């Protein structure tokens, strides 16, 4: 029942989108509770007193925090629908490895790109992003084993880990005029992205690109002043939740 599953989040957050994708894959009904990161609610602080961030999944009154941990919890808690994590121990470890690489090493480069102050620094970061995409192309070939998704025949753990960022990637393409994926340099990933976006569990979750562009511009307009005046300002925390 929807009443026993609640998701605290913001619709533009890729980390929240991850959880929504996993719930959709398992056909779990849930109540989505929009949180305003500018003004953290008492409910959020009670559910996640340590990190104090979205997303938080509340299942039968018990909170689970951190997006990839929540995805694994969903896979364990609901048997209906496809398995999200691979069944083979090595494949499962490989998926977790690449998910950690995406979160800890690769996607943070986009934040550095936003904050680059020189053309030379910007080019260096762009090169690193594209180098990461080459690695992820190879990971797709290895993990998919010739099938449509990282997870094989259906969307799985690594698809969700990378795919949740696709909306923000599309937004930055518009803003800085760079094409991240193409049929020459990333043929596997380019085709995968199209399949991922059109998947029934995914397409209604991904935020509109125009909305993300709007948020990005708002961030750029306010970032410098907020960081100088008050690094803990709610809007800065909001963007930390976004990406």
The residue assigned the tokens 């609640």 is: 6
Domains and CATH numbers, the chain: 2-77 (3.40.30.10)
pLDDT at 36: 85
Query: What pLDDT digit, counting tens, does each position of 165-181 carry?
Result: 999 999 999 999 999 99
Q: Which residue has the higher pLDDT, 218 or 203?
A: 203
| pLDDT band per the 50, 70, 90 thresholds, residue 2 | very low
pLDDT at 227 > cutoff 70 = no
3-state helix, strand, coil in the chain (%, to 5): 60, 10, 35
User: What pLDDT was estimated at residue 3?
Assistant: 57
More confident residue, 172 or 235: 172
How many Å apart are CA 12 and CA 16, to the nearest integer? 8
Cβ(48)–Cβ(20) below 8 Å: no
For residue 3, what is the DSSP state? Answer: G
Percentage of residues of the chain with pLDDT beyond 70: 90
Q: What are the E-state strand segments in 22-134?
A: 31-34, 56-59, 62-65
Q: Is 63 helix (H, G, I), strand (E, B) or coil?
A: strand
pLDDT given at position 224: 61
With beta carbons less than 8 A apart as the criterion, state whether 51 and 45 touch.
no
Rounded Cα distance between 235 and 37, Å, is: 7
Among 69, 165, 158, CA closest to 108: 165
The answer on pLDDT for 101 being more than 70 is yes
Mean pLDDT of 30-48: 92
CA distance 80 to 74: 10
> Phi and psi (nearest 5°) for 113?
-65, -40
Confidence of residue 234 (pLDDT cuts 50, 70, 90): very low
pLDDT band at 99 (very low <50, low <70, confident <90, very high): very high
């Amino acid at each position: 029942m929807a009443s026993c599953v609640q998701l605290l989040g913001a619709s533009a957050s890729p980390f929240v989108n991850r959880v929504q994708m996993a719930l959709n894959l398992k056909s779990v009904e849930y109540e989505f509770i929009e949180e305003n990161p500018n003004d953290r609610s008492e409910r959020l602080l009670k559910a996640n007193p340590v990190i104090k961030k979205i997303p938080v999944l509340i299942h039968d009154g018990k909170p689970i925090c951190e997006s990839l941990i929540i995805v694994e919890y969903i896979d364990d808690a609901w048997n209906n629908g496809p398995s999200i994590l691979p069944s083979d121990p090595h494949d499962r470890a490989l998926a977790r490895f690449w998910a950690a690489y995406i979160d800890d090493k690769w996607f943070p480069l986009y934040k550095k790109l936003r904050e680059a102050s020189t053309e030379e620094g910007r080019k260096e970061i762009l090169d690193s992003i594209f180098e990461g995409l080459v690695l992820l192309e190879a990971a797709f070939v290895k993990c998919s084993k010739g099938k449509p998704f990282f997870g094989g025949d259906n969307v799985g753990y690594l698809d969700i880990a990378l795919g949740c960022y696709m909306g923000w990637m599309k937004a930055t393409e518009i803003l800085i005029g760079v094409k991240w994926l193409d049929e020459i340099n990333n043929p596997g990933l380019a085709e995968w992205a199209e399949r991922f976006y059109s998947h029934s569990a995914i397409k209604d979750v991904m935020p509109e690109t125009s909305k993300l562009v709007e948020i990005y511009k708002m961030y750029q307009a306010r970032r410098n002043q907020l960081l100088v005046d008050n690094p803990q300002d709610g809007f800065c925390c909001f963007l930390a939740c976004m990406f």
